[in-house]
Amino acid sequence: MTKKIAIAADHAGFEEKERIKKTLDEIGVEYFDMGTDSTESVDYPDFAEKLGKAVASGEYEEGILFCGSGTGMAIAANKIHGVRAAVAWNEEIARLSREHNNANILALPARYIGDSEIIAIVKAWLDAKFDGGRHERRVEKITAIENEY
């Protein structure tokens, strides 16, 4: 697997972000860490914006965000044109976010899933491919909404 992805977290997801680096190294995924660098309190929108812009611009193919619930990061990242961030709390949701929604950013709820679950979720998401077909039409409608506002 040769992908170039970005990873980022707020203080609540910092430790999980650090742990996932080993897994990414093991499976051969090149990544760039966009912060944060500690468990000291920070504002998650800053990291979601930085990573989201990097993915939307094509600098990175995909991104993974970590925060307490995953929701704040996903909401902030989804404000960026071209981002489709999905919160996933299990492998199936992660896989479907890619296969059906062509999610280019995965947001993980660090406070609610364990290390082994996070690893399985990340692997499932990275391995999944967009199904296209009837889902393509739906993703195009999402893009149309983005372009309208």
Verify whether residue 81 is a known catalytic residue.
Answer: no
The yes-or-no verdict on residue 122 having pLDDT over 90 is yes
β-partners of residue 78 are: none
Catalytic residue among 11, 67, 81, 135: 67
The whole-angstrom separation of Cα 62 and Cα 72 is: 18
Catalytic residue among 11, 81, 100, 135: 100
Q: In what order do the strands lie in the sheet with 85-87?
A: 30-33, 4-9, 62-67, 105-109, 85-87
Q: Is 89 helix (H, G, I), strand (E, B) or coil?
A: coil
pLDDT band at residue 19 using 50, 70 and 90 as cut-offs = very high
Pairing of strands 30-33, 105-109: unpaired
Verify whether residue 11 is a known catalytic residue.
Answer: no
The yes-or-no verdict on residue 1 having pLDDT over 80 is no
Taking CA atoms, 58 is separated from 105, 120, 123, 133, in Å, by 12, 26, 21, 23
pLDDT band at residue 41 using 50, 70 and 90 as cut-offs = very high
Assigned token pair, 92 = 């199936």
> In order of start, what are the domains of the chain with their CATH numbers?
4-148 (3.40.1400.10)
The yes-or-no verdict on residue 58 having pLDDT over 70 is yes
More confident of the two residues 21 and 1: 21
The whole-angstrom separation of Cα 135 and Cα 25 is: 31
pTM of the model: 0.95
